[in-house]
Amino acid sequence: MRIVVTRRVPEAALVELRALGEVVVSDADRPLTQEELQEAVAGASAIVSMLHDRIDGAVADAAGPQLRVVANVAVGYDNIDVPALVERGVVVTNTPDVLTDATADLTFGLLLALTRRIAEGDRLLRARKPWSFHLGFMLGSGLQGKTLGIIGPGQIGKAVARRAEAFGMRVVYSGRSQPKEDLLRVADVVSLHCPLTPETRHLIDAKALSAMKHTAFLINTTRGPVVDESALADALLANEIAGAGLDVFEREPEVEPRLLELNNVVLTPHLGSATVETRTEMALLAARNVAAVLNGGEPVNPVHR
């Protein structure tokens, strides 16, 4: 059996995959184009994909009728045309749970960096700008007694809530289909943890941003297109909200240029799951999903049944 891995993964996962058959790993240190992806997967019984790979019916057809499983190394699977693959008898899996704490930690790291102006202070010192301590210097916002609004109360959202409660915050929740006006109105921080679906694309748009407090902060560690980045830049420039922390972007890896110029924005390059331990566990879980299907069993984490 031929197993195609679309980008480098930790060696521990490759060891498990090699026990199943021939493993081919893309040597391009970048996302493959659709043409390259279709060429790479030819003859594959299994594909281990990344969140930037668009796996659709054409890719499945390019692999051939022996394709049995696509194991996405991510929680979200908006990059996969699940109905098209199911129609072709291909199992689709993902890697939930193992990245919950890492992503929640990063979410709270963005929040602290934003509200306490940590990244801004770091930039000031690295620029060797003159400064001196006084009681009004670079004042930020405390979290104690503030309200955190979580849109998408899944495992990651709940993990963020536990961290917020430890900081003395009050937590309110909203489902993922539409942000409730009450949450946007009362939250001092709005944190997004809903998957990307047609219903959640641009869930945070100009209207939603205008409903937030002028003193509120927005954090996004889920999927970039959940936020209308252009509308967010407009809102920040108009002082409609106090700031934003983003780990994901609407046209990743591109970033709305105006956001790059703002001191009240903290940006990280999709680091939510980026710990050695978490990324290794994600790759291992994908490998175990592949092994289960190729050995004739049930996958650990199917995204459809």
CB 100 within 8 A of CB 155: yes
Q: Residue 214 catalytic?
A: no
Instruction: Please tell me which residue in 270, 279, 281, 288 is annotated as part of the active site.
Output: 270
40, exposed or middle or buried, with CB in 10 Å at 0-12, 13-18, 19+? buried
Instruction: Please tell me which residue in 176, 223, 279, 288 is annotated as part of the active site.
Output: 223
**What residue has token string 């297109």?**
225
Total Cβ atoms within 10 A of residue 6 = 23
Q: Which residues pair with 80 in a beta bridge?
A: 55
Q: Residue 126 catalytic?
A: no
Four-CA torsion 39, 22, 91, 221, nearest 10 degrees = -80
Amino acid identity of residue 257, one-letter, is P
Question: Residue 256 is encoded by which pair of tokens?
Answer: 């709305």
Spatial distance between the Cα atoms of 78 and 219, rounded to a whole number of angstroms: 20
DSSP state of 224: G
Q: Residue 270 catalytic?
A: yes
Task: List residues with catalytic annotation.
Answer: 223, 252, 270
